[in-house]
Structure 1
């Protein structure tokens, strides 16, 4: 009989942690382990589509959810329990009435996906421009193992302890197929043989509405993105996936907004893509596309503005275009980010330092209009910039292949 691995997913507004858990579960095929998911109702359709066994949390009912945990222990006796995101679980009591102590019912190792190597020296959690007030409450105490997906973790990190298990985030890393490129282009209404730039966003990136002072900054970034895409459209068509953030009044020729798409459709449409443009370096979609060989550009920001004073977090600040200068002047507050719009500029800096994944993608300042355009356009066709990213991808994939596989990791954890 196969042994059960329970994945507990508590984030109901974002799909990143679910995607990471699903990828890991796929790697369990053919092993002595089987996955069981405990998920929010919002994820039921997606997890069912994946054909994975699951049970559903009841929002607002801690009593029922604790009974559910007892039932899983009684019926399945998990060999291990994996928190898809320990940080989210530790703050999920308001949604599901569960706390870390409720997991004591399980008689097995308890661990988590350690997506960002928590506890790195010098890392501090900057959220919307401020140090997160809850940072002191974050702890890995009581967890016996960490699963570190690469990317975004560094596969060459030699400082990890015996309870840390780095592994390849994607079970299968292959070139993005192009067998149906023409068919997909036809479905999207793309013009001729023009290159295609994909812009992907997520619904959770609009949750900043709870922080009114952040809204002008978000609008400034959207203005810069629209400005960049307007100029990119002179060279390529643009396909946008997710919430509509730019060109809200009218769509210029060559701009195609698809809205949210299912994972299978997303994977299909990537066959028509020449360049991916994002603003979140922790995005699983970014990782999938870059590892699949699609040149990827990440817009980030190191420009800080407070009380009318602007300063850069980089020793070599760029010169702003006239348009960018007007946007900056008209925005009262700016803050650095690597994960838009949350921030995490400082938190992710040490994770990216010396990390070969940082060489696999092109990172450019959001407010450096000219540099952003000069980064995207050369990637639209064959040339030295695409060759450089391809070589970095080869180096990174070589490092990934040296990591332990899912089956090896699970047998090590189960033996604890």
Structure 2
């Protein structure tokens, strides 16, 4: 039987989360009668080569060539389905790749998208860097035949329409193995038997240079992260994966900056980890580690500052430490944030309300120094806090088991 092609179009060249979501889906197509083909930016070439999945590469600034390539794929492969990895980004990719929605007419098949955040939820509005996004009204799913909603961060308990398919984001959710924990720790020079905390970040989170007020907010957040890690280090070693955000002048004892890490090495490193800290609730790495049993904490910010006035978005604001007060007093502008540093505090609120994934990770406030530490330190060792997260994880995994798998979705969408 001839394999039917599913084309995944990835246009985000600065972020890898959309690619990770698409490749997770594509790897589960084996034995379904469908085969994946990716159209990607050149920045993703190495990851795709390592994945073993078929791909072709777009050329930045060469819209005519990219449109020809799109039509060639339609002619040669005759896709049964086309999936946009990120419909929001695709609608703005004409400036980079010269492609737009009209070019998708080359395909004589259903064209859909991953819908990572249940776009169009009641009460949701897109807040970026503290303001309502001007381009929100330009974003639409009109004309797309289907939506694939990976869980997390979508809510597996939400009802969906006939062309909306919630499914488990990750196939592998078994506990992270610990058989090689001692070996991995020895490779890292961690021989004291102390707990290990992993802090993760992404390159795209540093793409904010055009916004001076945002840069000041980012610097303040990094100062708070550095302070938090200073207070964690007497209790645990810290691995920093991704761009180094803290301790630029000096690396204190127990702090290990690893830089960018290839996926295979990352999978090995997490065997050494007791706790994960992220500042991005939408991070696939956060979802992956939390659902594989590593206690995870996500930093967020509910504190506003404008015109010298502070205002919290939460009913019971924490007391700021002297250090946090000094940081807050030193900048003019703060905005609420769940996806650092873009914001999305209000946009993601209704997605997280009633979502069982919210209980799988701990949420702490970036500027609540004492409160964050009070949550994190008990999670370094077995105890009731860890047990509660483990119970929440099992509840969430049970909800995922009730969702359709990739095989079922592909046949239903292409019927």
TM-score (norm 1): 0.99
CA distance in 2: counterparts of 1:173 and 1:372, whole angstroms: 27
Other structure's SS at 2:154 match: coil
Question: Structure 2 unaligned runs (5+)?
Answer: none
The Cα shift of 1:155 comes to 0.3
Tell me which residue corresponds to 1:205. 205
The Cα shift of 1:172 comes to 2.2
Tell me which residue corresponds to 2:339. 339
Alignment of 1:23-172 (within 5 A): 23-158=24-159, 160-172=160-172
Other structure's SS at 1:314 match: coil
Other structure's SS at 1:395 match: helix
CA distance in 2: counterparts of 1:62 and 1:246, whole angstroms: 40
Tell me which residue corresponds to 1:311. 311
The Cα shift of 1:191 comes to 3.3
Question: Structure 1 unaligned runs (5+)?
Answer: none
CA distance in 1: counterparts of 2:362 and 2:378, whole angstroms: 12
The Cα shift of 1:31 comes to 1.1
Is the CA contact 1:191–1:237 (under 8 Å) kept in the aligned structure 2? no
CA distance in 1: counterparts of 2:190 and 2:405, whole angstroms: 40
Render the CA deviation track for 1:71-110: whole Å, top value 9, x for unaligned.
0011110000000000000000000000110000100000
Other structure's SS at 1:209 match: coil
The Cα shift of 1:331 comes to 1.1
Tell me which residue corresponds to 1:254. 254
Other structure's SS at 1:276 match: strand
RMSD: 0.6
The Cα shift of 1:212 comes to 1.5
Is the CA contact 1:26–1:171 (under 8 Å) kept in the aligned structure 2? no
Tell me which residue corresponds to 1:381. 381
CA distance in 2: counterparts of 1:231 and 1:81, whole angstroms: 49
Is the CA contact 1:27–1:406 (under 8 Å) kept in the aligned structure 2? yes
CA distance in 2: counterparts of 1:351 and 1:221, whole angstroms: 24
Does structure 1 residue 20 correspond to structure 2 residue 24?
Answer: no
Other structure's SS at 1:214 match: helix
CA distance in 1: counterparts of 2:4 and 2:179, whole angstroms: 38
Render the CA deviation track for 1:386-405: whole Å, top value 9, x for unaligned.
00000000000000011000
The Cα shift of 1:316 comes to 1.0
Tell me which residue corresponds to 1:272. 272
Does structure 1 residue 281 correspond to structure 2 residue 276?
Answer: no
Tell me which residue corresponds to 2:185. 185
CA distance in 2: counterparts of 1:130 and 1:403, whole angstroms: 35
CA distance in 2: counterparts of 1:288 and 1:145, whole angstroms: 25
Other structure's SS at 2:208 match: helix
CA distance in 1: counterparts of 2:189 and 2:340, whole angstroms: 29
Tell me which residue corresponds to 2:230. 230
CA distance in 2: counterparts of 1:302 and 1:64, whole angstroms: 46
Other structure's SS at 1:338 match: strand
CA distance in 1: counterparts of 2:345 and 2:174, whole angstroms: 30
The alignment covers a number of residue pairs equal to 414
CA distance in 2: counterparts of 1:307 and 1:268, whole angstroms: 47
Is the CA contact 1:154–1:357 (under 8 Å) kept in the aligned structure 2? yes
Does structure 1 residue 11 correspond to structure 2 residue 29?
Answer: no
CA distance in 2: counterparts of 1:179 and 1:2, whole angstroms: 39
186-195 or 379-388: which moved more?
A: 186-195
Does structure 1 residue 323 correspond to structure 2 residue 306?
Answer: no
CA distance in 2: counterparts of 1:188 and 1:75, whole angstroms: 48
Is the CA contact 1:277–1:297 (under 8 Å) kept in the aligned structure 2? yes
Moved over 3 A (4+): none
Is the CA contact 1:195–1:237 (under 8 Å) kept in the aligned structure 2? yes
Tell me which residue corresponds to 2:217. 217
Tell me which residue corresponds to 1:364. 364
CA distance in 1: counterparts of 2:375 and 2:314, whole angstroms: 18
CA distance in 1: counterparts of 2:15 and 2:91, whole angstroms: 16
CA distance in 2: counterparts of 1:114 and 1:83, whole angstroms: 9
CA distance in 2: counterparts of 1:210 and 1:202, whole angstroms: 18
Render the CA deviation track for 1:180-211: whole Å, top value 9, x for unaligned.
11111011111311000000000000001121
CA distance in 2: counterparts of 1:254 and 1:88, whole angstroms: 39
Other structure's SS at 1:4 match: strand
Other structure's SS at 2:226 match: helix
Render the CA deviation track for 1:254-278: whole Å, top value 9, x for unaligned.
0000000101111110000000011
TM-score (norm 2): 0.99
Tell me which residue corresponds to 1:243. 243
CA distance in 1: counterparts of 2:15 and 2:190, whole angstroms: 30
